[in-house]
Amino acid sequence: MKQFGLGRSVALTLASAVLWGVAHLVVGLRRTGLALMGAYAIVLATVITAVFGFGDRLLPLAVQPGWLTAMTIGLAVVAVTWSAVIIWSFILVRPTSPTPVGQMLTIGLAASLCALIIAPSAYAARLAYLSHDVVTTLFSPSPSAPVLAEDPWNGAKRVNILLVGADAAPNRPGVRTDSMTVASVDTATGAATLFGLPRNLENVPLPPGPARERFPSGFSGEGEYTPNLLNEVFQYAEDYPEMVPGVAKGKRGPTLLKSTVSGILGIPVEYYAMVDMKGFAEIIDAMGGVRVTIKEPITYGRYNEGYLAAGTRKLSGQEALWYGRSRTNSDDYVRMGRQKCLLNAVAKQADPITVLNSFEKLAGAAKRAIATDVPQSLLPALIDLSMKVKGTQIKSLQFVPPLISTVYPDWTLIKQRVRVALADKPATKTATTRQTSSMHGTSPDKPVSLDSTCG
């Protein structure tokens, strides 16, 4: 049996950690050494091919529970195998007659190498586990229709998702959907247009069936505690099951609101995603804040509790919450414009590095803050689509005064503007539809592009 000095033992242990089988070849275990080298080459080639050959195409795997489970197990197997190879190599080439210092040095080296392998693998496995937990918690495992791999959108040219900002207050039971935006995305190009609906649209037409039978002239509410506003429809459906018969509690509100908004805009709204406003602040804090440019100073709070000065700055979650909610010295429509800018800023700044660094906090905040009916099986397609959206200019059209009266809305005009916006053809300007873009940031004739420069 070969004898090894301290220096050679350390060198061979290090070499075996970098390339499996080196120590085995040196001690004469040729077949074992070559087999370990072959296994190492396969692992390395697989990783290199996956990262450099597929790149962004790996992202959809990160939202599939089966792949996430396999990834967790695979990482654990690789970490254990690699550590075993290091320990085995160390045993084969450890110093023949080590001094106490030499023995401690070589044992410490082997242990450190194992830790260097296990620590990142354990971290990656935890990320995979957290991803699995978020996906299975937030997204339904059963789609309403089969999702085809070759065409997940079933031939649809656009997918329309209702984005809802919900605000609950201690002195007001239930949930009010104070921010409602439909994101209409071209499934081929990723071109996206946001349609903003004010919370105080009155007497909105409800979809055919029990809801319209109850309110044939539009949603009129139930008096002072449930006024006839669009933001009351969600909670009303939850409180009155007969409005959406056969739909479970917790799903009645989204179902009726999607159908109502679909009727208003004249486009099918397939899915919704609702964010609790306080939870949204948690998400921004987990990201480390969000940077926006504020054109005009903003005072917030009923009693002027805070102040956001004009200029480019990074907002904390609480500041961003007030930035998106404040109506002090302004109105609902100015607030709607800020909310769109804030959403866009968050989307643009949530880069992979930011998400990875704050993944655990983001995962916890997302589970507490988000509700959606997007099925798990559609997530890979949505990830692919989001990558396309990121490379385009997001446009926005808000149906606010003077384009649309919230008291007497022109439902026909709203549908017309949606058709024009999605066709991307300018409409003819009229005196009744002209809007002051400097006040509300939106043209009635064509959507405006969004950036993170907000008033």
Q: How far is CA 42 from CA 55, 148, 440, in A?
A: 19, 32, 58
404 falls within a domain: yes
374 falls within a domain: yes
User: What is the count of structural domains for the chain?
Assistant: 2
Question: Do 444 and 353 sit in the same domain of this protein?
Answer: yes
Question: Do 219 and 71 sit in the same domain of this protein?
Answer: no
Question: Do 205 and 58 sit in the same domain of this protein?
Answer: no
Question: Do 58 and 132 sit in the same domain of this protein?
Answer: yes
332 falls within a domain: yes
152 falls within a domain: no
**Would the pLDDT of 30 be above 90?**
yes
Highest mean pLDDT of the ranges 106-110, 128-132, 138-142, 413-417: 413-417
228 falls within a domain: yes
Mean pLDDT of the chain: 82
CATH number at residue 165: 3.40.630.190
Q: Each residue of 202-237: pLDDT tens digit? A: 999 999 999 999 999 999 988 777 889 999 999 999
- Does this model's pTM top 0.75? My answer is no
Domain that holds residue 189: 158-454
**Distance (Å, whole) CA 208 – CA 211:** 7
148 falls within a domain: no
- 302 contact partners, CB below 8 Å, separation of at least 6: 328
153 falls within a domain: no
**Distance (Å, whole) CA 255 – CA 244:** 8
Question: Do 345 and 438 sit in the same domain of this protein?
Answer: yes
10 falls within a domain: yes
DSSP state of 391: T
Question: Do 221 and 323 sit in the same domain of this protein?
Answer: yes
Question: Do 167 and 127 sit in the same domain of this protein?
Answer: no
**Would the pLDDT of 443 be above 50?**
no
Question: Do 22 and 128 sit in the same domain of this protein?
Answer: yes
**Would the pLDDT of 450 be above 50?**
no
- Which of 138, 169, 199 is where one domain is finished? 138
Question: Do 232 and 107 sit in the same domain of this protein?
Answer: no
